Amino acid sequence: MPTQQTVPLVDLYAQYALIRPEIDAAIQSVITRSAFIMGPDVREFEARFAEYCTASFAIGVASGTAALELTLRAYGIGAGDEVITSAHTFIATAEAISAVGAHPVFAEIDAQTYNLDPDAVAAVLTPATRAVLPVHIYGQPADMDRLMHMAQAHDLTVIEDAAQAHGALWRGRRVGTLGHAACFSFYPGKNLGAYGDAGAVTTEDAHIAEQVSLLRNHGRHSKYLHDIKGFGERIDTLQAAILAAKLRHLEAWTAARRRLAARYTELLADYHGEIVLPFVHANAAPAWHLYVIRTQQRDALLDHLNRSGIGAGIHYPTPLHLQPAYADLGYVRGALPVTEEVADTCLSLPIFPEMTDAQQDSVVAAIRTFLGD
């Protein structure tokens, strides 16, 4: 068993230990069939995941990054086009835009939800804008009502980056069906995680589903007939089998995350003056991939928690518009003040479905000690 801190940020082994027979059987089944590339487990997982998301189509791909890039390509987005997105996210969101030759445009985030601010998106629209790529950050759904209304008014494509939001709801609908298409990551630490890289695209559009299917598999319908130029971005059959086994537990895991998030909020409610607790939009039921607080004492608190055996962390301390990789875009500090303030003060506390109340109490006790209680 891997060495772990007293309370890890996430405990992947604990999850495996609880469902070991199902996972081992899924892996053994693939090995026994020896259908390692695009085997029947891929189709089974795609059907199950589409049903889970209430989407017409789900296409398994090699990673969340591949899901984003192939979806952009399927919509014909490329050189000369602009795609508006958030700078408070993992760099893959912008990398996919760059990979297709398009130009990422970073808009400000909402000060409460940390998702794209629709008013800020409207402010950076230009004739070259082709798409908006909202990120459901931390598993908190973006304001899809306003974004879709804006998209309709300006003939834009909306692609959800749902990498952290498996099972999240907006007005009772699952993410993955709120935009024109959605992109999921199954990176091991995600709410539905593989044991390696994997991703998926969901959509209601049969043409887009067909294009993504072709693009992921060298542009072919049959082994040696290639209709378009594509890529080797197929989901691995072993990962598909593992994900199908884990998908049966996702609703229970999401419920556990929601209970833990509510409990954190209750236990930390007395410290509103010293830490900012997560805000939940009235239309949202988050998936709680992360439970993120904010404090002006972020670095000192992080150090205290880590020294206390608490695996807290920082997600996205340097916004994308200030990353060296995107220096060519010309953004400078101060361009997105809300994004920068969130990046400077955010702190992710441990949260995972198998987390015990005792572990959570330890996290809260360490925070209380730091704050002088």
Same domain membership, residue 164 and residue 18: yes
What CA–CA distance (Å, rounded) separates 372 from 96? 45
Same domain membership, residue 219 and residue 258: no
Last residue of a domain, one of 213, 247, 281: 247
Same domain membership, residue 265 and residue 236: no
pTM (two decimals):
0.95
What CA–CA distance (Å, rounded) separates 117 from 121? 6
Q: What tens digit of pLDDT does each residue of 273-285 get? A: 899 999 999 999 9
Closest CA to 176 of 197, 190, 187, 162: 162
In a domain, 4, yes or no: no
Same domain membership, residue 220 and residue 80: yes
Last residue of a domain, one of 191, 215, 247: 247
- Report the CATH number that the domain containing residue 363 is assigned in CATH: 3.90.1150.10
The per-residue b/e assignment along 58-97, b for 16 or more CB within 10 angstroms, e otherwise, is: bbbbbbbbbbbbbbbbbbebeeebbbbbbbbbbbbbbbbb
Residue 1 has pLDDT above 90, yes or no: no
- Tell me how many domains the chain contains: 2
In a domain, 165, yes or no: yes
In a domain, 298, yes or no: yes
Q: Find out whether 92 and 68 touch, Cβ atoms under 8 Å.
A: yes
Residue 373 has pLDDT above 80, yes or no: no
What CA–CA distance (Å, rounded) separates 112 from 88? 13
In the block, tokens 């939940």 appear at 280
Point out which residues pair with 203 in neighbouring strands.
Answer: 57, 181
Residue 27 neighbours by CB under 8 Å, 6+ apart = 238, 241, 242
Percent of the chain with pLDDT over 90: 96
Q: What is the dihedral of CA 11, 14, 19, 21, to 10 degrees?
A: 120
Same domain membership, residue 242 and residue 259: no
Give the 3-state secondary structure of residue 206.
helix
> Tokens representing 44?
């089974």
Q: Find out whether 113 and 281 touch, Cβ atoms under 8 Å.
A: yes
Point out which residues pair with 158 in neighbouring strands.
Answer: 132
Last residue of a domain, one of 230, 247, 264: 247
In a domain, 168, yes or no: yes
pLDDT given for residue 3 in this prediction = 37
Same domain membership, residue 311 and residue 184: no
In a domain, 1, yes or no: no
> Tokens representing 45?
């997982």
> Beta strand pairing status for 82-86 and 129-133?
parallel
Same domain membership, residue 234 and residue 323: no
> Tokens representing 340?
């920068």
In a domain, 330, yes or no: yes
Q: What tens digit of pLDDT does each residue of 214-263 get? A: 999 999 988 899 999 999 999 999 999 999 999 999 999 999 999 999 99
pLDDT given for residue 2 in this prediction = 36
Q: What tens digit of pLDDT does each residue of 4-50 get? A: 358 999 999 999 999 999 999 999 999 999 999 999 999 999 999 99
Same domain membership, residue 263 and residue 180: no
What CA–CA distance (Å, rounded) separates 20 from 27? 11
Same domain membership, residue 273 and residue 153: no
- Report the CATH number that the domain containing residue 91 is assigned in CATH: 3.40.640.10
What CA–CA distance (Å, rounded) separates 92 from 343? 17
Same domain membership, residue 17 and residue 86: yes
In a domain, 3, yes or no: no
Same domain membership, residue 255 and residue 145: no
pLDDT given for residue 223 in this prediction = 87
Q: What tens digit of pLDDT does each residue of 177-187 get? A: 999 999 999 99
In a domain, 146, yes or no: yes
What domain range is 272 assigned to? 250-370
Same domain membership, residue 69 and residue 46: yes
